[in-house]
């Protein structure tokens, strides 16, 4: 396994970089470390799994084509583990075909970066993920209160946001970080139907993407809870 000493041990963000190109690993690691990002590196998915026994990175950066296992299969395995199921990931690849990108996005990747690339592009993606994570840092609290939130939604007489029971279920699954494929399997419907429901939710909440939808849901649920608690105190 490759070893790389962190240049700045006080970095706030840790990424796991998985790629079988050794030179790329070394060069990219040094660059990321120079930007105060802590880096764990593995030249195969097998090495990555060993690292993950003791480490939980904030972001995965994964090469799609590797000898032992594809990045797609590696991500599927990660999602089976509750420790990493919602950890954001970025795909790196020499393939730029639209069908490959679609496959990556359906798995939930935050970005699909084609080699060769400017490291600043990767830094920008990482920064965006960090900002999004800060905005929804209390998402675990929402998960713990999902039952109570559903009751609040069902008992609110408001025109601000009216969701059908199925839309509520799908929104809650999106908050959990589930992909359209995961939601389709759980609700026993097709991915196409889930895409339609997501489009409706975006329209009802006036949001443009899943990240904005989650942020909206967090603010809305927080407001409902606050109003409910105020009435209770009264």
Which tens digits make up the pLDDT trace of 171-181? 888 877 788 88
Q: What pLDDT does residue 96 have?
A: 65
Instruction: Say yes or no: 164 and 186 in one domain.
Output: yes
Cα gap 181→204, rounded to integer Å = 22
Q: Range with the lowest mean pLDDT among 30-34, 60-64, 212-216?
A: 212-216
Domain boundary residue, one of 135, 169, 192? 135
| SS3 letters across 33-72 | HHCCCEEEEECCHHHHHHHCCCCCCCEEEEECCCCCCCHH
Beta bridge partners of 89: 60
Q: Global pTM?
A: 0.55
Structure token digits, residue 232: 């209770």
Q: Range with the lowest mean pLDDT among 9-23, 39-53, 76-90, 102-116?
A: 9-23
Cα gap 57→84, rounded to integer Å = 9
In-domain check, residue 1:
no
Question: What's the CATH code of the domain at 163?
Answer: 3.40.50.2300
* H-helix segments, 67-115: 71-79, 98-106
Cα gap 2→101, rounded to integer Å = 29
* Res 86 pLDDT > 80: yes
Q: What pLDDT does residue 204 have?
A: 85
In-domain check, residue 18:
yes
The answer to whether residues 45 and 68 touch, using CB atoms and an 8 Å cutoff, is yes
In-domain check, residue 8:
no
In-domain check, residue 120:
yes
Domain boundary residue, one of 84, 105, 135? 135
Q: What is the mean pLDDT of residues 99-120?
A: 84
Range of the domain at 163: 139-233
Q: Tokens 């997501």 label which residue?
A: 198
Q: What is the mean pLDDT of residues 205-215?
A: 83
Packing angle of the helix pair 146-155, 210-233 (nearest 10 deg): 80
Domain boundary residue, one of 135, 153, 187? 135
Question: Measured at the alpha carbon of residue 41, what is the angle toward residues 40 and 46, in degrees to the nearest 5?
Answer: 115
């Amino acid at each position: 396994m490759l070893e790389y000493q962190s240049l700045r041990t006080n970095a706030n963000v840790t990424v796991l970089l998985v790629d079988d190109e050794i030179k790329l690993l070394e060069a990219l690691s040094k660059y990321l470390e120079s930007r105060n990002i802590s880096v764990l590196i593995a030249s195969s998915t097998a090495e990555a799994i060993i690292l993950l026994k003791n480490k939980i990175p904030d972001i995965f950066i994964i090469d799609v084509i590797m000898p032992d296992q594809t990045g797609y299969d590696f991500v599927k395995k990660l999602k089976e583990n509750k420790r990493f199921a919602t950890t954001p990931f970025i795909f790196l690849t020499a393939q730029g075909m639209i069908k490959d990108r679609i496959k990556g996005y359906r798995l939930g990747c935050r970005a699909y970066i084609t080699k060769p690339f400017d490291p600043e592009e990767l830094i920008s993606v990482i920064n965006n993920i960090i900002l999004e994570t800060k905005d929804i840092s209390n998402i675990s609290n929402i998960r713990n209160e999902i039952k109570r939130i559903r009751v609040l939604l069902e008992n609110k007489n408001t025109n601000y946001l009216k969701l059908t029971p199925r839309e509520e279920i799908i929104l809650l699954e999106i908050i959990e970080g589930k992909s359209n494929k995961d939601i389709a399997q759980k609700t026993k419907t097709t991915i196409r139907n889930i895409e339609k429901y997501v489009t409706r939710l975006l329209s009802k909440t006036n949001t443009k993407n899943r990240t904005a939808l989650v942020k909206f849901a967090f603010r809305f649920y927080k407001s409902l809870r606050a109003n409910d608690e105020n009435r209770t105190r009264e």
